Structures are given as C-alpha cells and as structure tokens.
Structure 1
Amino acid sequence: MPSEQPDGRGVPSPSQVDVVVGGIKGMLLDGTLGPGQRLPVEADLARALGVSRGPLREGVRALSHLGVLETRQGAGTYVTALDPALLLAPVSFLAELQQPASPALHEVRRLLETEAAALAARHAGPQALAAVQEALDAVAGPGAVDPQVFVEADVRFHRALAQASGNPVLAALVQAFAGPAVRARSRAAVGDEGALARTVQEHRAVLEAVRAGDPDRARRRMGAHLPAVEDPLAGAGEDPDAGPS
C-alpha cells in the first residue's frame, strides 16, 4: 500500500487505499455488508468512500489477497464466506518461514493443540471421532508404512482432532502452526524405526482420552506427545499421567 503522508500538523494521514480498506471493514462490522454479498458497483462505492477508482481497486485487491473479498469475472466483487481457515492463511505462511521451526512456534503450537484436545474431549461427536480414528488407522496396521503416507496421516490426525474441538478458529490456527512442525517430526522419524510405533501409540492415547470425555487427560496426553515434534527422542517412555506435562 502507498505510504502515509503527514498532514499539516505533522501527523500521518491515511492513504486513499487505507481509507478503502477501513471503509469496507467498517461496512462488514456494521452489517452493511455480510458474507456472500456483492459490493456496490465501483462508481457508487468510490463515491461512498470518498476515493478515486484507482485506490478503490488497490484496496479491493489488498482485501482479496487477505481472503476477505473475491472478484468474479463479469459478475462483480463479493465478500467471501469469511472462513477462518482462509482468513488465517497468512499465519500459515509465517509458520512455513520458520525453518527450522523456532521455539516460539513450538510454544504456540503446544498451547493450541493441548487445548484443542481438551475441547475435543468435551464436544466431539461420532462423526468427528470417526475422522480422527480414520487418520490413526492409516498408519496403525501391521507392516511397513510409506514415509509419505506417514507424514500425511500424522498431519491429518492433528487436523481432524482440532476440528473435533468444535472451534473453527482454533482448528484453523492448529492447521496453520502444525503443518511445518509435524512435517519436521515426520522427516526425522523416517530414519528412526521406533518413531512410527511411538507416534501411533501416542495418537491412540490421545484419542482414547478424547473418547472417554476426559479433557484433563486429553490435554496431558497431547502435551506429552508434542515435545517429540521438537526432538524425536524427547519424552520416549515417559508417563504423561505421572505429573504435569
């Protein structure tokens, strides 16, 4: 976006693009616009916001990149469904840049995923639990498992468990933060014959606690599982119920 220019008092004044972004945000907040609704035609919207058409188009493009708006060829510009997973996509981009994953990234992931497991124990229904079980079953059978299948099933397990929490914002954040961290653990596990068996055992323990409707145990089990993301050998053989995680 163009930089802000100082007004006569030396205070930065917002650019016209900022006015567009703020104006459309205000329309969303006050209910003038809602998910799935079409924006007014360009001339009317520019007049309503007090800007020219060039900055209006730049502001619309900026909001489209953020997942707030979408332009349909020949049909106009619409507000998206404002889905949390779409709006939080930039967080995933941030997490992907943390290679190797930083301690701060791991700390945030632990906070998110332990609470997601606890919420799943409170709220997960049969369909949500079946999705978690399916991800576990993908690597729980006998015989060798292809490393790529292992990676995909590991990511799918954590994603399904977060969705089982019943909180779509939390699920979107878990998906954003868990991807690179889970893949790092999975890559390390390829050279560790015991890592796959430990992962399955830990996942099963988390799911058992969730099925039992025990939020505290689900939180502890997930808390015991996640340090292996940072160090594939960390926590092996520890009893998460022996004390605080």
Structure 2
Amino acid sequence: MAVTDLAIEKIKGMIVSGALKPGSRLPNEADLADQLGLSRSSLREAVRALTALRILVPKQGDGTYVSGLEPHLLLETMAFAADVSHGRTAHQLLEVRRLLEPQATACAAGLLTEEHLAGLRAILDRCEADIGIEEFIRLDIEFHRIIADSVGNPVLSALLGILSTHTQRLRIVRGAHHAPAREQAHREHEAIWRALVQRDAGLAAGLATVHVAAVEDWLAAGTSSP
C-alpha cells in the first residue's frame, strides 16, 4: 500500500472508531503525524485527499475539521462524476435510477402530505406555461426531489439526485428534440401525480418505471445520432 493510502486509511480508522467525531478538530500536524507514525508530508497528502472527498474540511486560521459526514457531502464527488458522464456510464446511472426511483415513488404514495401534493401540482401547472428548457429542467428536478424527500431517507434523496443531474437531463432533453421530450415527460409526470393523489403505490411505481425507461430511450437515441 502506498504511503499516502496508508495515511488515509489511518485517519479513516480514527473516524470509524470514534476517535475523531463529526465536527471535531484534527490534532496539529506534528502531533497527528507522530500519533499515526507518519511523515508530515504523507499526512498532508492524506489530508488533501480527504478534503477533496469532503470528509475533512479546512478552516482558515483554525485548522482542519472532520466534516458533518452528511450523505450529500460525501456523495458530491459521485455527483461530479455523474454530471460529466457520457455513453455507457450515463446508461448505467439511469439503470440504477430505474431500480431505485419506482420504489421511492411507491413509498411516497403513502407519505406525501396534502402540502406536498399541492407543491407537485403547482410544478405541473408551471410546466404547462411557455417556459425555457432550463426552467423546465429545474422544475423536473424539483418534482422528483419532493417525491424522494418525502420518504425521509437523505441517502436515498442524495443518490436519486445524483443519478440524474441537471447537466445530464439537459443533454438528454436536447438530444431528444426539446418539444416532444418535454411533452412526454409532462404527461408522465401528470400520470405519476394522479397515482400519488390516489395513494396507489403500485401504479405510481409502474408509472415511474415507464418514465425512467423513456429517459433511457431518449439517451440511447441521442447518443446514437450522428
């Protein structure tokens, strides 16, 4: 194992064991290097790597801290990878979304409040207006976010948000020729909303599956175009 990787593993071990808790400050560099049996240069490299992963957070003039370790922070690097994904990787991300989103939508059918449903209805009404593609994508993301968040699992919400990012959605809709893709997505959202209003978990899950499968088709059509 490379020295830097060993240093990363040792710091991670301190976090896993509870020796370093979320929000706690790391000992000063010299003391921590001695404690872990590392050179200060190896420790610095490890701290830089863990900072890039949002596990550690530097505070200017106040040292380095363990982050809150919230899912959305730890998954940010995955979000970047999803944002720049193309080809087979983009297809694989959508396959995972197709596995997760129908189940989340089914769970949401029994958990969405009347306020949530009204918020979804307002989004759908706004999508019927003459809005630009950027606004449509923003509303599309918000529609799915409300549904996922109602389940109450922040890891699920973060994963679903990552699996279809703003950049990816915009690329897919543009590749599928704006108007037809938007009209079909809107019809599918309307159908999902009606199933959620009826508290029909099975129907909501089925419609969500069809919806994500359509996105996969748009992506396939877009990537196969000359």
TM-score tier (shorter): 0.7 to 0.9
Matched-pair contact (CA < 8 Å) for 2:134–2:170:
no
Deviation, structure 1 residue 39:
1.2
Counterparts of 1:31-46 in structure 2, within 5 Å, are 31-46=18-33
Partner of 1:215: 201
Question: Is 1:138 the equivalent of 2:126?
Answer: yes
Query: Which amino acid is 2:133 matched to?
Result: P
Partner of 1:240: none
List alignment gaps of at least 5 residues for structure 2: 221-226
Q: Which residue, 215, 219, 222 being the options, matches 1:229?
A: 215
Change over 3 Å in CA distance of 1:17–1:186 after alignment to 2: same
Aligned residue pairs, count? 218
Cα deviation 1:56-87 (Å, max 9, x = unaligned): 11101100000100000101111111121221
Change over 3 Å in CA distance of 1:100–1:155 after alignment to 2: farther
Cα deviation 1:151-198 (Å, max 9, x = unaligned): 221122223322222111111111111114422332245543x44333
Change over 3 Å in CA distance of 1:132–1:27 after alignment to 2: farther
Using the alignment, how far apart are the partners of 2:130 and 2:143 within structure 1? 19
Superposition TM-score, scaled by structure 1 size: 0.78
Counterparts of 1:1-245 in structure 2, within 5 Å, are 14-100=1-87, 102-126=90-114, 128-129=116-117, 131-140=119-128, 143-179=129-165, 180-188=167-175, 190-192=177-179, 194-232=180-218
Superposition TM-score, scaled by structure 2 size: 0.84
Deviation, structure 1 residue 227:
2.1
Matched-pair contact (CA < 8 Å) for 1:120–1:164:
yes
Change over 3 Å in CA distance of 1:22–1:114 after alignment to 2: same
Partner of 1:8: none
Tell me whether 177-186 or 66-75 shows the greater mean CA deviation. Answer: 177-186
Using the alignment, how far apart are the partners of 2:57 and 2:115 within structure 1? 32
Tell me whether 33-42 or 201-210 shows the greater mean CA deviation. Answer: 201-210
Q: Secondary structure at the match of 2:172?
A: helix
Deviation, structure 1 residue 54:
0.9
Tell me whether 17-26 or 178-187 shows the greater mean CA deviation. Answer: 178-187
Matched-pair contact (CA < 8 Å) for 1:139–1:150:
yes
Partner of 2:224: none
Higher relative contact order (CA 8 A, sep 6+): 2
Deviation, structure 1 residue 49:
0.7
Using the alignment, how far apart are the partners of 2:57 and 2:117 within structure 1? 34
Structure having the higher Rg: 1
Change over 3 Å in CA distance of 1:160–1:87 after alignment to 2: same
Change over 3 Å in CA distance of 1:233–1:109 after alignment to 2: closer
Change over 3 Å in CA distance of 1:74–1:233 after alignment to 2: closer
List alignment gaps of at least 5 residues for structure 1: 1-13, 235-245
